[in-house]
Every structure is written in structure tokens, then in C-alpha cells.
Structure 1
Amino acid sequence: MNTRDFIKLKEAYAATIEGNKQDKYRTGNLIELPAKGDVVIMGDLHGNRENFGKVVNAVDLGNHPRRHLIIQEATHTCEVGEDHSYRLHEDIAYLKSKYPHQVHIILGNHELSELTGKEILKGGICYNILFRQAMKEAYGEYYPQILELFNEYIRTMPIACNTKNGIFISHSTPPGKYLSHYSLEFFKKGTGNKEKDDAMIEKVVWGRDLSQESADRFARRVKSEILIVGHTACKRGYQLPNTRHIVLDSKGLFGTSLHFQLHKEYTQKSLVKKGLQFINKKAVKNAIAKMKEEKKERKARKSAK
């Protein structure tokens, strides 16, 4: 990295950190979206700059000042080999610095792991090591300064967003046995005990309880009807594990985003029907057609036997 690029990136991260802190819709760790306008939500990205770029181009924030974009989980490509997901964070920082009150980056467990040092291992591969090694190689002598800014950028991310029409957005939701500790007030003010707050935040971003009972209880705790999350990989881009959660996955061929109006009322089903969009629509259509044809051929071969 040359000095010119370093200064540019340093300024973008500094502006993003300030944008995270001074977001006019933020109260504590909660982004409270206004009653007018619309929002596009992305699920886990894990370094997929192509899908991110397509969504950014489509939402056209510059020409839609009342439109919001919620982003999560850019960190770690979750693949063997080099991890260049730090480049997606650069893209996000440049976007947030340009639209500080329209772009909202919520904390994910992979971001938190970089901050706390909790290693994420799969198949004997430590994603944290791959990520840091790639950053060191890319930034060279500027790595320590960029890392310091990167950590502060994560540290200042809000935990969740909510809307006036009853929708709550977070990376995940906490396990059922801890739900009595949560409320909108927690997201706005915390408990006053940093150690407890940190533990509760960790359970929000790492939780995998998608049961109907826990979904109903958490929705009541945060005074919402629909819960939009990422965190869980979805082969077809999304899942509806219960009548409240909508799980989004934005990283693959079947990656999805969700677009809706902030003044309209929705049910889970109507929100999916009207707002769910495949990022790679044409490719998905072709892939589905191919799968149907292959299924038809397998059935024909089986019948021939």
C-alpha cells in the first residue's frame, strides 16, 4: 500500500467510525429507523464484494435520500486459502463515509471475534489468522495503524435496528434461556454493567435459537412482530424457520436482500413475497431451470430401469 492509498483509507475509516457514533437514528446500540422512507437489508456477505456492489448500485442511495441500507457480516470468506474480506470492509467504509445516516453496519459474530480474539475454526482452518495475514500483506508498514482503526470501526458498530412498523433487525437472536434479560431498553441503554453488556451482546450475535417459542418471546421483549437476521447459512438465500424470523444470506449465487417500506404494515409472509429479492436474478433463474432439468433426467433414467 502506498502512502496516498493509506491516507485515503485512513480518512474513510475515521469518517465511518464517526458516522457510526453520530448516526442521527442511533440511541445507544440501537438504530431506530424513521416512519418514512424504505430500507434494504443484506444478510451475511463474508467478503462477497460482487454481491455487495450489485446491491449498492441497485439501491442508489444518492438519488433516494430516504432510503436506508443495513449491512452485516462482511468478515471472513469462510473458505480455505487467502481471505481478502478486508477489501469488502474498505468498500463499506467508503460507502458509510459518503452516506453516514443512510448506511447502518450492524455487528456480527465474525466482526466480534476479530475484536475479542475468539478464534473461528472450521475444518482445522482458523479464519482469524487468514484474515489478519492478508491484511498484513496488503497494508505492509501501515498495518498497525489500519488495524487500530479497523478495531475501532467494529467497536462502534450498533447491535440492532428497529422500525416503527414492527420489524427488528440484528445479526441473530439470543438463546431462549437468556431472553428475560433483553428488552429495547437494553439495546438503547445497556445494563450499566460493561461485563454483563458484553456477555449479552455476544449472545445476540452468536445465538442460534430459531425455535418458535424463543422467537415469540424475543419479539415480545423488543416489541416487534418480525425478526430479520443473518448468521445462518442458507442454500437458497433465505430461511423461514418459524413464523417470525426471516434469515437472509447474501453471499452466494442464491444471495438475497430484503426491501420494504417503513410506513407499511407487513406479515412475515407478505414481507417475503413483496420484499425478498435475489441479488443474481438471472443466474438464479438459470440455475433453478438447470436443477429442474437434471431432476427430470434422473427421474427418466430411474423409470427406464
Structure 2
Amino acid sequence: TNESLSKTQRSSSFDSHTNQHVQNKAEKKPIRLLLVDDSAAIRGILSKTLRDIPGIKVIGTAADGEKALTFLEKEQVDIVLLDIEMPVMDGIETLRRIREKYSRLPVVMFSSLTERGAKATLESLVVGANDYVAKPTATDNDSIVARIESELVPKLRAVYRPPGTNKECGNHTASTKSPIQSHWTKKSQNISVIVIGVSTGGPSALAEILPHLTVADAPPIVVVQHMPKEFTGHLAERLSKMCKHRVSEVSHGQALQPEHIYLAPGGSHLEIQKRGKAFILALHNGPPENSCRPSADVLFRSAAKIFHSDTLALVLTGMGNDGLQGC
């Protein structure tokens, strides 16, 4: 028995060592990146800058969505950096095609923060983009390179999935009756408010979850989504079309009411406060928490202070620790 146990221990130790070796070997492999942008100048400066970044390798470029899809059929890609406005096939349609065939392949959108660009970027996040990076507005190369290194590279590393984790799961048929909907009415009777914190990948997660929470007599839902102020109004508008209850971007002093969904505006902290017998939503520009403003921790603390155990807090997809202390 001791000999058998010894063999088992040696085998377990060998397997552990082998798995660690495979993991370390995978970690040393560079991130294989596909650049998709109709501007040859943008493709050129991105390729040149990223070439000097350790751990990232540009393995291909494409000027439109059709060429990108063709490339994906032939090559193994870890991340797609995708422009939105392109000829032949734009970024939104390309993203939909990617999600149909490569549901777990990380895609980062590369777009402008103009009014039109913000709407398109928001739509891409709802469709399933993992994150986005604003195109540099500066014209000198040094500023553009600095922007790529400070904003794009960290996001590429954050959404990267090591080899073996991008394998597609088999098709499955989801139940048409949501478990959330089945049990929500009974369980929500003692819940005064639902607070949600969400970051990277949030719009698509919210689009999936919120429609199931919008039932009759549901408590108010208050959401902090890490997103610039240029996007949050568009997100509220987009989610309103998908939910039975209205989704609105919060204005200071707005009343907290059942069967309503409230979204914190980008750049402002959001708290729930009590005024007499009423509950209101208050905005302020206090210091960022967890490098975030709005911060889920700020919202969660305010809800717990007023509603105590009658608060339901949800932390969805994203990066960082925001929401941890508040829970």
C-alpha cells in the first residue's frame, strides 16, 4: 500500500510539474494579434509600435472585415483589434460573424470617441466585444505611440486568454424559461434594491441579465458600469429597448422608484441617499476609488447603509477589485 501510495505521489508530482511546465511555456508565447483597419497609416503605426512591445506579435493585418474573416480561417489568432468604420464589411458586422464562429476569441474595438463613434462602439460592446480603445486624436507620432503603449497594450494583456482556453464549447439548447424569472417574484419580496457593478464586457452581460430582472413589482436596479461619459447615455438608451422597464442615465436628485433601472453617468460617483421618507440618487465628483469613477464600492456602501440585508448586490464581468469591499 505504501509503495502504491508512493507511486501515486510521484505521479501526482510529475503531473503537477508537467502542467506547470506547459503553463510556463504557454506564458512565454507572444500574444498573436490581428489588426483590422482600413487605414494603411494606422495599420503601419500600430504594427511598428507593437513590434517593439515584449510579448505581443502582430501576425497579420486586414483592411476590411471580409479579409479579417478569411485570415481567421487560416491562422491561429489570440486577439483581434478591430476598427468600426470600414468598407466592404464594417466592424459591427465583422464582430457578429466572429461571435458566430469564434465565440471566445477576444476582440478589442478601435474607434473614435465622436458622437457617431461612441454609438457604434457601444453597439459593438453589446454585440460582444471584450473592450475598446479610443483612437488617438493627436497627429504627432510620439503622442500616438505613447497612447498605444499606455492604453492599448494593457487592455490587450487583460483580455488575452492563454492557449487552450479559447476552445469553443459544444452547442446547447438553453431553456426558454429563465430560472431567474421562475423564482424572482417570491425571492424579491424582501429585497429593497438591486445594485450592480460591472466593468469590461459589461454591456453584453447587462443585455443578457437585465431583461430577466424586469418583472412586475421588481425593486429598483442601480448600475455602475465603468465607462466614459460619452457612452453611458447611449448604453441606457440601448438597454431600454431590450428591457420592460425604463433604463435611464441618472440625474442628481432623481427619485429611486420600483420597476426602474438607473445607470450611473461616466465620470461621477453614484450614491443612494435618504431624504425624509424618500430615497434619492445623488451624484458627486469625489476621488476615484479603485481607479474608478463611478465606483461600485461607493454605490454598494451607500445601499448597505440604508437597506442593510435587504440589498442584493451583483458583481459581473470585468477587471480589478472594484465592488469587492462594497460587498
The alignment's TM-score, normalised by the length of structure 1, stands at: 0.24
- Higher relative contact order by CA 8 Å / sep ≥ 6: 1 or 2? 1
The alignment's TM-score, normalised by the length of structure 2, stands at: 0.23
Higher gyration radius (CA): 2
Structure (1 or 2) with the greater helix fraction = 1
